[in-house]
């Protein structure tokens, strides 16, 4: 599930007509990285919780026969392959509208009927993870070990805890942290730890029972963290310290950093990017 109904106000005016999830990191939009990560974890059904005016996301994952014909006629086989592989093999796409901006918990609840009664994954495209083993695949493997709910976590500076859901830790082996509680956006002085949840979740469908209460939390929104906290005690809850590097593409600096980092991983771009960066250091 991809909650993509947000307005992207931190990227205005770029996001006035273009969804923030369609902003490119090098030459692929953020949402495509998220879909590819999910597909690499073995997922075949993709649900987008979207909003009016975000038709570009849907268009991106639909066949473009006219474009493909032009590329084929022009012999641009590399670009043609890149366009065709936007849609993973065997993928099924569904879309549901979040008609009110009531928070992440509400966005997840909107997809209840499409998810059904099986565990599901939630990916926030704003969190872009560079990893040898895709972050979601790591979570799926961890959930097979532990059962219950598993989320991706990382240590954050204490003065940043008010930006995240934070684990109250019961046991920690350095890789998996068992939680006895969760706190949404705590003040640094009140944070039970510095282990913060980032935008990757593998959840049991029982979460919908709690989301259906529509209880407002931090910021007056329906918080996914609050609903997850209510599952603790009835099912295991673990935070996984994933292997990889996360880029917060929900802010401009993180987005720019991601573009540079992903460009440096490209053999066709890395030399030019390094030369460019060296030139900046000299001026």
Tokens of residue 239, six digits: 């935070």
Question: What pLDDT, on a 0 to 100 scale, did the predictor assign at position 252?
Answer: 95
Domain of residue 224, CATH code: 3.90.550.10
Question: For residue 29, how many C-alpha atoms fall within 13 Å in the half-sphere facing its CB?
Answer: 19
Tokens of residue 251, six digits: 């802010």
Query: Does residue 208 form part of some domain?
Result: yes
Query: What's the total number of domains in the chain?
Result: 1
Question: What pLDDT, on a 0 to 100 scale, did the predictor assign at position 7?
Answer: 84
Query: Does residue 266 form part of some domain?
Result: no
Question: What pLDDT, on a 0 to 100 scale, did the predictor assign at position 220?
Answer: 74
Question: What pLDDT, on a 0 to 100 scale, did the predictor assign at position 283?
Answer: 54
Question: What pLDDT, on a 0 to 100 scale, did the predictor assign at position 213?
Answer: 86
pTM over 0.75: yes
Query: Does residue 121 form part of some domain?
Result: yes
Which strand (E) or helix (H) includes residue 107? Answer: helix 104-110
Question: What pLDDT, on a 0 to 100 scale, did the predictor assign at position 113?
Answer: 94
Q: Which domain holds residue 212?
A: 2-250
Query: Does residue 264 form part of some domain?
Result: no
Question: What pLDDT, on a 0 to 100 scale, did the predictor assign at position 131?
Answer: 97
Query: Does residue 79 form part of some domain?
Result: yes
Query: Does residue 273 form part of some domain?
Result: no
Q: Which residues of the chain have pLDDT under 70?
A: 218, 281-283
Query: Does residue 255 form part of some domain?
Result: no
């Amino acid at each position: 599930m991809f909650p993509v109904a947000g307005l992207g106000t931190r990227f205005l005016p770029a996001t006035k007509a273009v969804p923030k999830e369609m902003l490119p990191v090098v030459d692929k939009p953020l949402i495509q990285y998220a879909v590819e990560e999910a597909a690499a974890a073995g997922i075949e059904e993709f649900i987008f919780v979207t909003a009016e005016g975000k038709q570009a996301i849907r268009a991106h994952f639909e066949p473009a026969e006219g474009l493909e014909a032009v590329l084929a006629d022009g012999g641009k086989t590399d670009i043609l392959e890149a366009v065709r592989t936007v849609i993973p093999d065997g993928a099924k796409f569904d879309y549901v509208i979040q008609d009110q901006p009531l928070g992440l918990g509400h966005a997840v609840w909107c997809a209840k009927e499409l998810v059904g009664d099986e565990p599901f994954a939630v990916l926030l495209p704003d969190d872009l993870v560079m990893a040898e083993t895709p972050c979601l695949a790591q979570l799926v493997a961890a959930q097979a070990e532990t059962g219950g709910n598993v989320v991706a976590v990382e240590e954050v500076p204490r003065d940043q805890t008010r930006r995240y859901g934070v684990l109250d830790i019961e046991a920690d082996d350095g890789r998996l942290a068992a939680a006895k509680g969760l706190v949404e956006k705590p003040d640094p002085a009140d944070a039970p730890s510095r282990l913060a949840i980032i935008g990757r979740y593998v959840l049991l469908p029982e979460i919908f029972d709690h989301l259906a209460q529509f209880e407002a939390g931090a910021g007056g929104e329906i918080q996914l963290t609050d609903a997850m906290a209510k599952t603790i005690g009835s099912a295991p809850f673990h935070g996984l310290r994933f292997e990889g590097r996360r880029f917060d593409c929900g802010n401009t600096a993180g987005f720019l950093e991601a573009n540079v980092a992903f460009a440096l991983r490209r053999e066709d771009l890395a030399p030019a990017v390094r030369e460019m960066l060296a030139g900046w250091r000299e001026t």
